[in-house]
Amino acid sequence: MSTSRDDRDSEDGDQPSPVIPVDPDACILPDAALCAFTVLDSVLVTLVQGPARWKMQLFEQPCPGEDPRPGGQIGEVELSTYTPPAGVPGKPAAPHFLPVLCCVSPSGSRVPCDLLGGPGGFTLEDALFGLLFGADATLLQSPVVLCGLPDGQLCCVILKALVTSRSAPGDPNALVKILHHLEEPVIFIGALKTEPQAAEAAENFLPDEDVHSDCLVALGHHGRMLAIKASWDESGKLVPELREYCLPGPVLCAACGGGGRVYHSTPSDLCVVDLSRGSTLLGPEQPEEGPGGLPPMLCPASLNICSVVSLSASPRTHEGGTKLLALSAKGRLMTCSLDLDSEIPGPARMTTESAGRKIKELLSGIGNISERVSFLKKAVDQRNKALTSLNEAMNVSCALLSSGTGPRPISCTTSTTWSRLQTQDMLMATCVLENSSSFSLDQGWTLCIQVLTSSCALDLDSACSAITYTIPVDQLGPGARREVTLPLGPGENGGLDLPVTVSCTLFYSLREVVGGALAPSDSEDPFLDECPSDVLPEQEGVCLPLSRHTVDMLQCLRFPGLAPPHTRAPSPLGPTRDPVVTFLETCREPGSQPAGPASLRAEFLPPSVASIKVSAELLRAALKDGHSGVPLCCATLQWLLAENAAVDVVRARALSSIQGVAPDGADVHLIVREVAMTDLCPAGPIQAVEIQVESSSLADICRAHHAVVGRMQTMVTEQAAQGSSAPDLRVQYLRQIHANHETLLREVQTLRDRLCTEDEASSCATAQRLLQVYRQLRHPSLILL
């Protein structure tokens, strides 16, 4: 490694120093427990880490030209108890911090300054030396070894007393004196001049002259600094003045310079403090040569140098400055020249007016910063809330999409019931949203319920549209449920188009959550940048389908005849009627028949009938779970009315036929009976169940028949998935039935075309024939197997 140094005798200035090899034979004291050493005149002082205590040893320094190994040991003393960290029992672990050793001599000592151990040795004034180390050290004019231990103890040993104790043994503990306890590892021990006149004179000393320091300093790793100085008390007695300061830490190294300055390094900066700035003048009752006091506080000044691990301050240079020699953490050796003539920056004096103005500016700045912090905190809270909501939305989406055909963690069930609103009966749908997951539905979630009637679903060109209800979901935690009730009909025209499809969907609004966090609605915020439009989500949100429920005629039927006589409710009201018709009916004679269109159709026209036949074996397989021990016809009727409110009464009475009322007031009769199909299977008759629907209203019978067929299709699909097989059938007979149906369908098309071209008189016969054909088509000779 090459370094640069000032060479005053060389004309070329800085010259690189040669690399000096160190031979292994140069080792004079091979000891793995050796932690620190210093040299004083002809004595080598070492500090060794023992198993339980620190041990100070003194050796004779070898003379030049002789054996490089030191002579015999001339003194030894044990210091403070040492508690080793956890490790191998009996073997002390290496300390994290090494102890610090330095030699101190009184001003009258004959030990030259250059023999005090170099930078680790210094000379103290007699007053401070005597106060610190006692009369014995002063009378003996003995150097003292100061030791700073990693546990924070600052102790001293008088060398001459330690050497003489070998010839006259006594208590070795009496040789060690504890001066102070910093309560943190000691990093540096030094001394300096703090008196203004003395410090100025010390700066003018030549490097070879001995400088008598009047202040002892010790610095801990965490920034605690101890300064000791001789001072006068109130009675005029000379006493030691101890003062502790707190400096920025952690401290890596330190050095004492001229002018009462102490330089200390931290990982982020190199700072300097001045102990001479607080010196006070002497009182009239004190001698002029008496010392002054220490400053009450220190203000470190930054030198803008970081990561210095070793530091040394040289005496005053010819140019009038102080030169620091520093070693950085990366191994770079640096020289730093400081101008001691310029004062360390300090608070400048200001007038009352300027101080008031400065205070107003500071308060205004604090207010602006506080306001900005408030706005920024609000924005951060909004974005954190949005991120939390997005995380919940992602978890909910994954849980719903991965549930498959099993139970869904978030479900929505729909049921229907009739309610009386004012003077009209209304079919109401109740949707129950239940959260069985471990997540919470909070901001941004909306339950969308879409109601689609059969007319809108079949007639795509019609002007009608589906009705969508949106219900905000707010704070629906795990295990909670939300119930929503909405009307299905009849509408303003008095009719109810069945079937009605109710679809429930969860909608998560990305615009509301993400857009609200990236572009807050508080437009008065001057500290937040406007969010670019390309950051906002392109989609409005995410839709997660929950359920799809179809409300058909079988669910809407009412059975007023099932109620007991004493609890029987009044007959359901039909659609709102014309007031004139109502008035005429109230004026007719008692016993006369009503003259409305519905009553005339019921009196003179035979009821329309539609039927469907299902294999008894197929029904038994489909209904075996919940209808064991129940006759097949009764079980079938209960299955058809499973979603009707009257199913419990039907089950209790074991009914196989029932008469109900449609939403428009027309009667609908359901009959379930067992029949035998003799012409389909050559092996014999097939036992079947016939489901027959009768009504005087053609529209109602079509809706009821559609509901029955829909349930049968679902049942056949489920049974087919289980591998059910059909018996042997007569194929020729099936072909004949199929041909007959094809003929009837062609006749229906012909009759419908003829109705469009014939006059009123001829169209009556065509309409009657068309109704007959429809009846034949609704009585097929086929059976569901």
C-alpha separations of 282 from 231, 289, 290 in Å? 10, 8, 7
Domain extent at residue 503: 368-400+407-518+539-551
* Shared-domain flag, residues 190 and 311: yes
The pair of three-digit structure tokens given for residue 356, joined into one six-digit string: 């008031």
573 within some domain: no
**Residue 586 burial (C-beta neighbours within 10 Å; 0-12, 13-18, 19+):** exposed
**pLDDT recorded at residue 285:** 40
% of the chain at pLDDT higher than 70: 74
**pLDDT recorded at residue 186:** 94
Residue of 339, 207, 227 lying closest to 275 (CA atoms):
227
* Mean pLDDT, range 275-303, rounded to an integer: 62
DSSP run (H or E) holding 659: strand 657-661
DSSP run (H or E) holding 731: helix 731-755
Q: How many CB atoms lie within 10 A of CB 356?
A: 11
**pLDDT recorded at residue 8:** 41
Q: Which is it for strands 53-60 and 657-661: parallel, antiparallel or unpaired?
A: unpaired
What backbone torsions phi and psi does residue 23 show, to the nearest 5 degrees? -80, 145
Distance separating alpha carbons of residues 576 and 423, to the nearest angstrom:
8
pLDDT at residue 704 above 70?
yes
pLDDT at residue 14 above 60?
no
Q: Of the given ranges (153-162, 339-348, 370-379, 441-450), which has the lowest mean pLDDT?
A: 339-348
* Shared-domain flag, residues 743 and 699: yes
Distance separating alpha carbons of residues 732 and 740, to the nearest angstrom:
13
pLDDT at residue 434 above 50?
yes
pLDDT at residue 384 above 60?
yes
445 CB-near residues (< 8 Å, 6+ apart): 393, 472, 473, 476, 506, 507, 508
The pair of three-digit structure tokens given for residue 384, joined into one six-digit string: 């954190």
* Mean pLDDT, range 407-431, rounded to an integer: 87
* Shared-domain flag, residues 325 and 449: no
| DSSP tag of 558 | B
346 within some domain: no
Q: Which is it for strands 144-148 and 176-181: parallel, antiparallel or unpaired?
A: unpaired
Q: How many structural domains compose the chain?
A: 3
pLDDT at residue 16 above 80?
no
309 within some domain: yes
% of the chain at pLDDT higher than 90: 21
Q: How many CB atoms lie within 10 A of CB 397?
A: 14
Show the DSSP H helices in 578-690 as ranges: 579-587, 597-604, 616-622, 632-640, 647-653
* Mean pLDDT, range 331-358, rounded to an integer: 72
* Shared-domain flag, residues 372 and 513: yes
* Shared-domain flag, residues 618 and 512: no
* Shared-domain flag, residues 616 and 735: yes
Residue that wins the pLDDT comparison between 352 and 485? 485
392 within some domain: yes
240 within some domain: yes
Average pLDDT, the chain: 78
**pLDDT recorded at residue 217:** 95
Answer whether 105's CB lies under 8 Å from 94's CB.
no
CATH number of the domain to which 138 belongs: 2.130.10
* Mean pLDDT, range 600-621, rounded to an integer: 77
pLDDT in tens, 494-526: 678 888 899 999 998 888 887 767 665 554 554
Q: Of the given ranges (44-58, 484-498, 657-671), which has the lowest mean pLDDT?
A: 484-498
* Shared-domain flag, residues 299 and 373: no
pLDDT at residue 581 above 90?
no
Residue that wins the pLDDT comparison between 536 and 290? 536
pLDDT in tens, 192-228: 988 765 545 555 554 445 678 899 999 999 999 999 9
Answer whether 185's CB lies under 8 Å from 152's CB.
yes
Distance separating alpha carbons of residues 238 and 293, to the nearest angstrom:
12
352 within some domain: no
What backbone torsions phi and psi does residue 656 show, to the nearest 5 degrees? -115, -5
* Shared-domain flag, residues 501 and 613: no
At residue 668 the predicted structure's pLDDT band, cuts being 50, 70 and 90, is very high
pLDDT in tens, 91-136: 555 557 899 999 999 887 666 555 454 456 889 998 999 999 888 8
* Shared-domain flag, residues 56 and 157: yes
- Rg, Å, the chain Cα set: 53
Our CA angle for 563, 569, 571, nearest 5°, is 105
Distance separating alpha carbons of residues 724 and 620, to the nearest angstrom:
12
* Shared-domain flag, residues 71 and 162: yes
Question: By three-state DSSP, how is residue 746 classified?
Answer: helix
Distance separating alpha carbons of residues 389 and 444, to the nearest angstrom:
8
**pLDDT recorded at residue 658:** 92
At residue 287 the predicted structure's pLDDT band, cuts being 50, 70 and 90, is very low
**pLDDT recorded at residue 257:** 87
Distance separating alpha carbons of residues 202 and 193, to the nearest angstrom:
7
CATH number of the domain to which 391 belongs: 2.60.40
* Mean pLDDT, range 364-368, rounded to an integer: 90
* Shared-domain flag, residues 256 and 305: yes
Q: In what order do the strands lie in the sheet with 308-313?
A: 308-313, 321-328, 333-339
pLDDT in tens, 445-477: 999 999 988 766 555 455 556 889 999 988 888
Answer whether 242's CB lies under 8 Å from 260's CB.
no
Side-chain-side CA neighbours of 12 within 13 Å: the count stands at 5
Residue of 321, 347, 351, 324 lying closest to 335 (CA atoms):
324
* Shared-domain flag, residues 741 and 611: yes
327 within some domain: yes
Give pTM, 2 decimals: 0.52
12 within some domain: no
pLDDT in tens, 232-285: 888 888 899 999 999 998 999 999 988 889 999 999 999 999 888 544 333 334
Question: By three-state DSSP, how is residue 87 classified?
Answer: coil
Residue of 650, 664, 784, 652 lying closest to 726 (CA atoms):
784
Total H helices, total E strands in the chain: 16, 32
Answer whether 279's CB lies under 8 Å from 289's CB.
no
Answer whether 484's CB lies under 8 Å from 533's CB.
no
Distance separating alpha carbons of residues 483 and 475, to the nearest angstrom:
14
